Structure 1
Amino acid sequence: MYSLQHQVLPVVVILSVLWTQYATALRIAGAFSVIEYNPLLIASQDYYKGTAQVVNGGVANLFGNSDIDLAGNAETQALRQYATHKNLRVIYTVVEVAYRIVASKKAGISSLADLKGKKIGTVPSTSAAYFVQRYLASAGGLRDSDYTTVSGGNCNTAPCGAGTLPYMLVHGSIDAVGMWEPTLELAIEGLGSDAVVFQNKSVYREVYNLYTTTDKLKNASTRKDIVAYLRALDQTAQLFTNHSETVIPRVAKTMNMNEAVLKAVWPVHDWKGGLAPDLFDVLVPEDQWVAKVDRRSGISQADLKTMIDSSVLEEARASPSTM
């Protein structure tokens, strides 16, 4: 007959194992409202062999009293954090997105120059707002004072309600929208034949990266987990690039999106993964804009170079997984 001690011991062991797994799990933050975070989720579900939890958030969650190890965000928000947190590091490019502007022909718009004097809907202080400014300056020859930006909300599923950018465009309170997807696609569909679309990814495309901190990377155990997670992201990149037919239904369900809409915007997303080779060149002019918006001094080019850490990805690709 087993004693009480023999009966309790297995339970204690099981609880100890479960607690150890939870305590050492990677915690990854990404905004659940954007398509871009989905590789982070699927990598944790399909390919990462450790324990990982993806929570709603972004790069700001890496700081303060936080147990977040990794975070996904557009480069604009990372620059905002890096100004005061020089221990932030970019370690992987999850996806690059060629933003677009859609305008209404009814507003007399057929070229970018026609946006002079118009109201353009976007989300202030984000990659979308930077895209509008940079695109219109570089390709349209327009100064900031030549048009008015109007704040509005994103929309992932039609019908888009009042206050969202597609609704505002269709109902004429703004003349154009510059935004990430699927808000832009839904705005196009809302206008129908009255839509005119502008796009030039050589001027700007969102670079949605994965970030961590030097503190996390200096911890041998955490770094090992992060390296393994980057291998999982590489596998996920192949899935998103070469087998979109299997991924789109999953992402659509996660985002509560229409599959046809997601399929329509899939081509403006580059899921190849890795680390954008021109990331430094992207960050330099972008920080000048963020610094102006945030009313701070610009970050030195030396510091911007330090922000990019390619060693983690190099480590992930140089050695096989041991997990």
Structure 2
Amino acid sequence: MMYVSQIFWSPLLLLATPTLAALKVASSLEVLEWTPELIAKEDYYNETVSIVNGGIPSLASDPSVDIGANSETQLLRQYASHKNLRTVLTTVEVYYRIVASKKKGIGKLEDLKGKRIGAFPSTSSEYFVQTLLATVGLGPSDYTIVPGGACLKEPCGSGTFPAMLKRGTIDAIGMWEPSVQLGAEAIGDDAIIFEQTIYREIYNLATTAEKLADPAKRREIVAFVAALVKAENVFRTDPEKVVERAAAAVKTNATLFREVWPVHRWTARNPLDIVDVMLEEDKYVARADGRTAMSREVLETIVDRTLLADALKLGEN
């Protein structure tokens, strides 16, 4: 009788034991910024993780997504209507650049007045252009933002910014890499590049308050962030170990990735000034989205610093 009972109950006990699904991360797989996640997955994370195309909006649209990654612009856009979002880590800070055509009479930033600038409206790209050009007294009405497409490697399609710059349908490009570098290469000696330290993209890993409150899911996220910290250290200190794999992950070439590596600050931290940055930037996002800008009190809730602290402790063990 005891033998029959054991056979009967054993499968039920197995069914009653919850099995945690594999960690799921949503990132835009067509930007260089996501590539440390791949190295973390392949080299340092000991559990199962899937990385799918998406971003922070995926946290709201797909309950199976545990982590979403995007710039601070998209984080703000989503947080305005999803106050349960939490940024737990910044993986890279990118100092965007502008490349312009000297043949169009551009030798300094002020010369962009009246020009056509390739950028993505309502994103960190346009915000960067507005922020940088404001330092020389130019407002949004002083130039024209022209939408187009990004390019990851040559040959760039006719609707991409590098091709548009080469044709002369735009006079400059302002955005993330490698489109700026490809634009510079497309026009050769005619290119002038404006580098800056006024604006940096803060590329975030975000999750939800509910997932952070779930002990089992939190442990998974902590473990992945600990792996990501190790991957970031390689990106920062020994990039040759990972540049070929990272370039292949976004279907670009390693030579191009090496060219733009210096404008990327590969890091694993929660910037001390992140709320200050977002407080100012949300004025732009709010105008673009037709809402009221969020207050400092509201924005301070968006940053969770405890998970990274736990990940760093785990990495020490």
CA distance in structure 1 between the aligned counterparts of 2:194 and 2:272, rounded to whole angstroms: 25
Q: Which residue of structure 2 lines up, in the alignment, with residue 6 of structure 1? A: none
Q: Which residue of structure 1 lines up, in the alignment, with residue 179 of structure 2? A: 183
* Unmatched segments (≥5 aa) in structure 1: 1-11
Q: Which residue of structure 1 lines up, in the alignment, with residue 71 of structure 2? A: 74
Identity %: 47
Alignment of 1:127-206 (within 5 A): 127-138=124-135, 140-201=136-197, 203-206=198-201
Structure 1 residues 115-171: Cα deviation after superposition (integer angstroms, max 9, x where no partner)? 000000011111111101111112x21011100100010000111111100000110
Superposition RMSD in Å: 1.6
Deviating beyond 6 angstroms after TM superposition, the runs of 4 or more aligned structure 1 residues are none
The residue type equivalent to 1:52 in the other structure is V
Alignment of 1:143-292 (within 5 A): 143-201=139-197, 203-292=198-287
Structure 1 residues 234-288: Cα deviation after superposition (integer angstroms, max 9, x where no partner)? 1011111111111111011111212111100011111121112211111011100
Q: Does 1:52 align with 2:75?
A: no
Q: State the Cα distance separating 1:84 from its structure 2 match.
A: 0.3
1:122, 1:129 within 8 Å by CA — same for their partners in 2? Answer: yes
CA distance in structure 2 between the aligned counterparts of 1:52 and 1:67, rounded to whole angstroms: 12
The residue type equivalent to 1:142 in the other structure is L
Q: Which residue of structure 1 lines up, in the alignment, with residue 39 of structure 2? A: 42
How many residue pairs are counted as aligned between the two chains? 303
Alignment of 1:89-128 (within 5 A): 89-128=86-125
1:228, 1:321 within 8 Å by CA — same for their partners in 2? Answer: no
CA distance in structure 1 between the aligned counterparts of 2:33 and 2:271, rounded to whole angstroms: 15
Aligned partner of residue 59 in structure 1, secondary structure: coil
CA distance in structure 2 between the aligned counterparts of 1:320 and 1:304, rounded to whole angstroms: 29
Structure 1 window deviating more from structure 2 (39-48 vs 211-220): it is 39-48
2:36, 2:246 within 8 Å by CA — same for their partners in 1? Answer: no
Aligned partner of residue 178 in structure 1, secondary structure: strand
CA distance in structure 2 between the aligned counterparts of 1:251 and 1:320, rounded to whole angstroms: 23
1:61, 1:71 within 8 Å by CA — same for their partners in 2? Answer: yes
CA distance in structure 2 between the aligned counterparts of 1:122 and 1:275, rounded to whole angstroms: 27
TM-score where L is the length of structure 1:
0.91
The residue type equivalent to 1:61 in the other structure is S
Q: State the Cα distance separating 1:319 from its structure 2 match.
A: 4.2
Q: State the Cα distance separating 1:65 from its structure 2 match.
A: 4.1
Aligned partner of residue 271 in structure 1, secondary structure: strand
TM-score where L is the length of structure 2:
0.92
Q: Which residue of structure 2 lines up, in the alignment, with residue 4 of structure 1? A: none
CA distance in structure 2 between the aligned counterparts of 1:298 and 1:220, rounded to whole angstroms: 33
